[in-house]
Structure formats: structure tokens, C-alpha cells
Chain A
């Protein structure tokens, strides 16, 4: 079958208006938010049902051409970069909330539903969908499942895998399977294995999302520190004291400059770092918990400790954190955001090393972090037109992740491996570990039809 025949077949399956094949249309889909590697896909299709996804997968399989499922394309590691000669299956038109069952604390959604769309739909019910990546206004829940997305509040509530009760998926051979939502002792927990598999095991077409009851109350504070070292020492100590805040976020001076320019939250200029700390739960215990957290912060010479007194003040604190990465545009024409994770006791060390690595490679790095999880997001400022700078930023990036491995951590906490980190998988895992993953891959998708070349190298073969 020629490419033309495949496209004709896809048009027959989906109607012509749901298939893009003109070069000028395809170029928009040549990468996700990881822009370093790009491939123009063969076609981009917009199915509206699992059956249509399955037909597309079968047609592509007959044609010997791989597919990649894609949501909003907010992924930061190249998980949705089209494989060479691949077809992009856009799931953004499968965007209906099919059912909300509060009695079961569950919602059934299509993969193209936006994370925030679900939370907004739940407004007033007393429930929310807990994973809250900073991209939640644009990222789809299908994409959240593919990357096992996190967010600030996953410190207490867990990442996407903890909030998925079941999935309907299309496999590489076009078959449709359902895992869950009722727990089944007779079956392996394959829904949870598909979570975080970056589209390499199955294409998710329905999600039974677990809903979380809203906390009765919360307290949100912002504490400033004279150094990032002091701030990260405070984080380590809060965790070591056995406290589990709802969120424990860190921003350094570099990112604060951008945030200040964008939102003017009034962080004192002498502050080298801030922590945003949120505690939630029953009203009865919150004030005493807050006192304990503030007492621990006081061990590390905080400057100003500001408590949000109104919902609007809390919103502003969170806006500054969640929009921080977007504000980086005020600092440089381009940037690369990294995602590494270390044991929480190693945070002060890893921040010191990030400073050293930045100096060594002559790259400016600013920092945001889901510090309570040990999840650092160094942002390397660059200008893609400056090839030398870009190369230095990539080298620095790699060195930061190698440091995370050396600390007993991992190369990604929530963004995924994609293509960006595929080389590092062999540093993190032993060959036998990768072989074990390859077996899973082979069982799900023996023909490597789904998103080949992602996640780990073994599946490139």
C-alpha cells in the first residue's frame, strides 16, 4: 500500500475532514513541547471513538507504519514526536465527560478532556481530580495518563496512577480492551501499567478517573529565604519531621525575577528563594500544623512569612507558581525545562550541584521544584539560534540528571522519558531491568506499532 492509499483509507474510515495530509498542515504536529527533535508525520487523524482509533491502528499496521497518540502536545520530553513515517492520532476531539458518579467518586472521561475541564465540571460537587500539572489548563487527561503526570499537590495526593480506576485501550493490533474500573483479582493490574507508558503499550480511549473529596480547609504560606540552600534545608527538615503538606514548592531568585515582572506578587527583592507551603485537611488540626511548619522554617533564617488570608490571596500565590514557567519568556527567548528527582534529604546537595553545573557550562539556570517530592525542575535559559549555547545547555541538562542518578534518584519524576532521555535509561537501569520492560512492551505490542523509539532504547529495535 502506498502512502496515498493509506491516506485514502484513513479518509474512508474517518471522513476526509478528519485527516490532515498537506505538508503545511502537518508541520504543526512535528513535535510536542520538546522542540529539539522534529519529524513531519505522514498524516494526522482525528478519530472520535475507540472503534475509529482501532480502525486507524489496523490500517496503519497493514501499511507497516507506526502511530503515536497525542493530546494537547504539552509533553516536555518528546513523547509525542512523530516516529519517522508515522501517523499522529489526535485524541483531542474525543473530549466528552461521559459520566460523573459522585456516589462512586469516579468520572468516566474521554482522553481529550482537559485536566482543568474535569475539575471545573466538578465545581460545587465537593470533589476534584487530584493530579494538577502546571499545564492543567491545556493538558489532556489522556496525556496525564500517558506520562503519569504529577503536579504540586501530588505530594500528598499522589500522581495520576493513584487516581485511575480503569481504562479502555486500543492495542497495537487494533483490539479494544477494558481494564477496571472494578478491581479484579483475576487480572494483572494493567491499567496502572499503561499509566506512564507514554503511548508505547496502548492508546487510551476512556478513563475512569477517581475523584478526590475537597479538603475541609487549607492554609497557604509563602516563606522567603536568603539562599536556595536554606530553603531546601527547610524542605528536607519538614519532610523528615514526618509532615505531609498538600504541597511544598520552591522557586529561586532567577525564576522570581520573571514571576515578579509578570504578576508582581511583591516578593522582597533580597529573597534568594521562596517556599510555597500548603497544608490541608480537617480545620481542627491545621493551625497547630502550620505552627510546626513555620517553626521548622525559622531554623533556616526565613525573611518574610506571608500567609494567604483570602481565597484570592491563595490564588495569587498559586498563580505565581503555576505560571512561573510561562513567565520565563521574560528572561530569554528560549528555555529547556528539566525534570529530575532525588531523595528529599539530598535536595540541598542537588541544588548546590545545579549551581556548579550551570557555572561550568556557562548556562543560566533558574529553578522551580516540587521540592516536597524531591522533584527538581531546573530551567536552562537558551536561544535556539545560538547552537553553542544550546549544546552547552544540553550538556548541563544531562549532567544534572546524572547527578540525580548518583543521588539515588531518577531522570524523570513526571515528564516522562520520551526521546529526550532515552540515552540515560541505560544509566538508570541495568540491562536486565530494561529487558523486563521490553517483555512488557513485546506482550502488548509485538509489532512495535505504537510510538516506537520512545521510553527506552530496546523498543527502538
Chain B
């Protein structure tokens, strides 16, 4: 990937606290001196957002990686924010449980970072995103004060939903120190049904039909362009415009039954060349679909997704494209041509974003976001996220109240 290495951040100092008190003390000091604090979880999203303009403290959270409470019989778990998603799921698996969301680079990505960036993957179609499991949170605000929101029970209407406020806040409302999640029982089996599609029109036809399917898919992924590296599936044939991958999870009879039913439904709609994958191979495909970090993301309503994908594919014929099609999320992996794009002018990265791709998203009522700015490119916030939103003043007002000195990830969000 194009990740900027940690060494490219302003090299003021790096600290790796081991408990919340240390985080609070550090931010308290930073507040007094007006020193920026850049929290880092697994470092998988360092190239998301504008780069830090001011030197500051790199606050590495990966030493805070303990399970604090796992009352397994309650199906909840409380962990420190620096625990990785993979480690969390390894711990949960000992009780045949899991947090059923996915995020790229799960071996490095921390739960605090996933909350802060709202990272997600294919399973969001059925299981939702991390906010749907986040019951409670602790964080240190921009004055060095610890605060909590939510709780450790699965339903809670007391107080404002501060956990939801933290989701996608990119560290601007506090450094997350702990999170409590609702967890789910691990499914025992999974299966995939794969269909290569001669046209985008047929992709839309099959996707629309899923709404009335007798099956309950867990993931609905639409792939186009060249495959991402390490693809465990055969390459997309030249005759195909796109590939649909639908996944099921559950007991053995459930997944086998649903895979069969879906194949019948799709064949009735004229689909050919269906492949069903079961057993151990499913995991390799599933991981391949969820683990790669993308460069750009377009969010639209699901009904607009195929149209957007077709237009983007027309511009970026050599880029791997993957859509969480059931959710209207298109992920663009690397840009063609693979050689560095010119810094300025026609064909530059900025031109591609601003004049070619973002208009497609906007015309479809959606948003284009640059998730990873290439190392040799500098983008303004408007180029990364698009024009300021009508609610931007409200958002800034919230941020300012949690971080009056403007030291939490300054300049990196909004």
C-alpha cells in the first residue's frame, strides 16, 4: 500500500503509554503547552486525512492492549483501545464468540482506530459497522480529562450516545482508551456463491433481485477491474464485466441450503457460470475481500452503486474496484496507471479526484473520500472530503468543546 511510514510524521516525540492515567497526564500537559497530539493505533490509516501541519506528540496506543472484562455469558467484552481486531477475535474465539465486523489489516488495526475511522468491510451488509456493537467508551478529552459514555449493557437509553459520536471522529473528540462491545456467537460454517457477469446491467438485475431473495446473505460484494493481489479466485474472464460474490454464514444446513437456493434464483434470472465455494477455501476468499486497505471510497445509496461503478470502471480500467454493493460503498484500490501520476495538470491525482471521480459520486447523491493520499501528493481537506457540509459549523462546535486548545489531531479532520 501507499502508507506513509510513521517516520514521516513530524518527529517531535513518540510515547507509548500503558494505562489511561498516563494518557490523561500526557494530554493534560499537552493542553497546557498547546502541543498537538496525534494518536496512533495500528498505524493503518496514517495517510488518511491531511498530514499533520504542526509538530506534536505521536501517541502510540498499542501498549494498551488488554482485555479488561469479558463476561462471556453476557456476550459483552471490554478492552483497551490498542487491542487489535485480530487479537480481540482470537480472545473471543476461545468462548466461541466474535465481533462480527471486519476492517482492513485486522492484524494491525486496533479497535480504537477502527472506531475513530469507522473502518468496515464486506460483513457490514448483514452485521453492520462497529458502531452497531459499541456499547460503551472511555476517552481522554483535549484537556486531559477522562470521560465515559454508554455502558456495559446491550440496551441503554441513559445519556447521549457518546459512543456513536466517537465513531468516525478521527480522534478529534478524545483519545479513546477503552471500548465495550456486544459480541455474537461464532458461526460454524460459511459458503460463497460467485457469479461472473457479462454486463453491469446484469449485475444490477441480480442485486435488485437479492431484495426479494429467500436467502439471507451476509456479504454482497461486486468486483470489477483487475483483481487485488493474492487473489484466491480465478481471474475475471475477458468476457465478464464484473463479478458478484455473495456469502452466507450459519450452521452447515443453513449455508448449504441458502447457497443452493440462491443459485436456483439466479439461474432463473439467466445467470450462468455460478460457482459455489464451501469449506476451508471460503476463509481465504473472505479474508482477501476484507483485508485490503483502499485508496478511495465512494458512498452512495445501494441503488446508485452499479451505475457509479460502471462510470468509474470506464475511467480507471486498470484499477481493482470492489463494492460492498448492498451498502452502496465502492472501494478503489490503486489508481491506474501504476506509474506515479503527474503532480499537476491534466492526469494528476488531484485532477482525477476533483474533475473526474468526485463529480460521479456527487451526481449520484453521494460522497467521494480519499482514504489514503499518495506519499508524493498534497491534498486540501476539500480535495480529500469534498466541499464543506452544511453541518460543518455544528461539527466544529462539538469538536471545539471537547478540544478547546485544538490539540487533538489538529488539521486532520474537517
Contacts and interface: CB of A to CB of B under 8 A. Distances in A.
Nearest to A176: B390
A338 B74 CA distance: 22
A57 B254 CA distance: 53
A240 B251 CA distance: 18
A283 B62 CA distance: 44
B67 interface: no
A414 interface: yes
A83 interface: no
A147 B147 CA distance: 23
Interface in A226-251: 236, 239-240, 242-244
A188 to B, nearest CB: 5
Interface residues of B, number: 78
Interface stretch (A267-275, A342-350, A354-362): A342-350
Nearest to B165: A193
Instruction: Give the most central of B149, B301, B395: most A CB within 10 Å.
Output: B301
A284 B253 contact: yes
Interface in B373-414: 385-386, 389-392, 394-395, 397-398, 400-402, 414
A429 B154 contact: no
Contact of B391 (A177, A201, A408): A177
Interface stretch (A22-30, A115-123, A430-438): A430-438
Contact of A341 (B156, B160, B254, B371): B156
B185 A177 contact: no
Interface in A425-461: 425, 428-430, 432-437, 439-444, 455-456
Contact of A410 (B118, B153, B385): B153
B151 A409 contact: yes
B155 A375 contact: yes
A197 B164 CA distance: 12
A408 B390 CA distance: 39
Interface stretch (B211-219, B225-233, B280-288): B211-219
B254 A430 contact: no
Interface stretch (B238-246, B333-341, B361-369): B361-369
A188 B71 CA distance: 31
A436 B166 CA distance: 12
Interface stretch (A44-52, A178-186, A299-307): A178-186
Interface in A398-424: 408-417, 421
B10 interface: no
A195 B391 CA distance: 17
B394 A444 contact: yes
B141 A244 contact: no
Contact of A430 (B148, B153, B212, B297): B148
Interface string A282-318: 1111001000000000000000000000000000000
A344 B391 contact: no
Interface string A189-209: 110110111000100000000
Instruction: Give the most central of B76, B155, B157, B159: most A CB within 10 Å.
Output: B157
A216 B329 contact: no
B303 interface: yes
A150 B74 CA distance: 19
Interface residues of A, number: 89
A423 to B, nearest CB: 12
A429 B151 CA distance: 9
Nearest to A282: B254
Contacts of A150: 155
Nearest to B261: A282
Contacts of A162: 128, 132
A103 B328 CA distance: 11
Given A177-B391, A436-B141, A343 B146 contact: no
Contacts of A95: none
A424 B386 CA distance: 43
A178 B365 CA distance: 13
B398 A440 contact: yes
Contact of A409 (B153, B251, B299): B153
Contacts of A193: 160-161, 164-165
Contact of B74 (A102, A126, A343, A443): A343
Instruction: Give the most central of B156, B159, B371, B392: most A CB within 10 Å.
Output: B159
A428 B286 CA distance: 41
Given A185-B118, A436-B147, A425 B158 contact: yes
A105 interface: yes
Given A190-B394, A282-B258, A242 B159 contact: no
B68 to A, nearest CB: 13
A242 B299 contact: no
A161 interface: yes
B211 A105 contact: yes
B302 A104 contact: yes
A84 interface: no
Contact of B164 (A189, A213, A417): A189
A158 interface: yes
B146 A432 contact: yes
A374 B148 contact: no
A154 interface: yes
Given A185-B369, A409-B151, A432-B147, A345 B71 contact: yes
Interface in A43-68: none
Contact of A161 (B161, B303, B398): B161
B163 to A, nearest CB: 9
Contacts of B145: 432, 435
A367 interface: no
Given A281-B216, A436-B149, A190 B303 contact: no
Contacts of B297: 185
Nearest to A210: B128
A184 B367 contact: yes
B28 to A, nearest CB: 13
Contacts of A441: 160
12 contacts: A104-B301, A105-B302, A182-B299, A182-B365, A184-B367, A185-B118, A240-B73, A342-B153, A344-B154, A408-B152, A410-B157, A413-B157
Enumerate the 8 nearest inter-chain pairs by beta-carbon distance, A residue then B residue, closest first.
Answer: A242-B185, A240-B73, A186-B385, A439-B401, A413-B155, A284-B257, A192-B164, A436-B147
Given A186-B386, A193-B164, A433-B159, 11 more contacts: A102-B211, A103-B302, A104-B302, A182-B300, A185-B118, A189-B167, A285-B251, A429-B158, A442-B401, A443-B400, A455-B160
